[in-house]
A and B are shown apart, each in its own frame.
Chain A
């Protein structure tokens, strides 16, 4: 089955700097890669996703890149703000049935 590894587990950046979170997956059939943001005490919420036929996708300050050959994908946040502080989860799926999540990255943005 699919296995997703996520790094780093914690990330601290200064406000205005960029943050990058990386994930690798094991199943070459995986074709959908979402990212979820979970603020403290809240539910995870989808913030961006990418499909296997696309190499990069942007939405304002966030972007996701996918390298199918290497089986890894990354989340990039530019011009970080304190409200970006949260836990971020990557996920992958080779099917329509279920998502397999990474272990999460706690991002702290210091003013």
Chain B
């Protein structure tokens, strides 16, 4: 399905617990991104990767960490989930930002 999959699709977790979201691609794209989508805020960049072990922060990186040990996988970790991190998280892939992205189907995360 478009060469990109996110897991899980839905997750409910408790405040203070660690959570890891996974993005997997089969397109061999260089860039991978994590965005969060919230009403009134659109799509905000959390972190992105431009290669294995090469990552950088986005607009809203506090409280999140990422890892990319293989070209195909990009993990987003919430070390200690808070209610403000309740959101829909989208992964995106691309060779270059100025050629556009392909988005994954999203993960709906609820922190209670």
Contacts and interface: CB of A to CB of B under 8 A. Distances in A.
Interface in B6-53: 31, 33, 35, 40-45, 48, 50
Interface string B78-112: 00000000000010000011111111111000000
Contact of A103 (B2, B40, B101, B103): B40
B63 interface: no
A46 B100 contact: yes
A56 B88 CA distance: 33
B48 to A, nearest CB: 6
A49 B96 CA distance: 14
A34 B100 contact: yes
B48 A97 contact: yes
Contacts of B56: 97
Contacts of B40: 9, 103
Nearest to B40: A103
Interface string A17-50: 0000000000000011010100000111110010
Given A34-B100, A101-B35, 6 more contacts: A6-B42, A9-B40, A32-B99, A98-B33, A103-B42, A104-B42
Closest 9 CB pairs of A and B: A32-B98, A103-B42, A101-B43, A96-B96, A43-B103, A104-B42, A46-B100, A93-B97, A101-B42
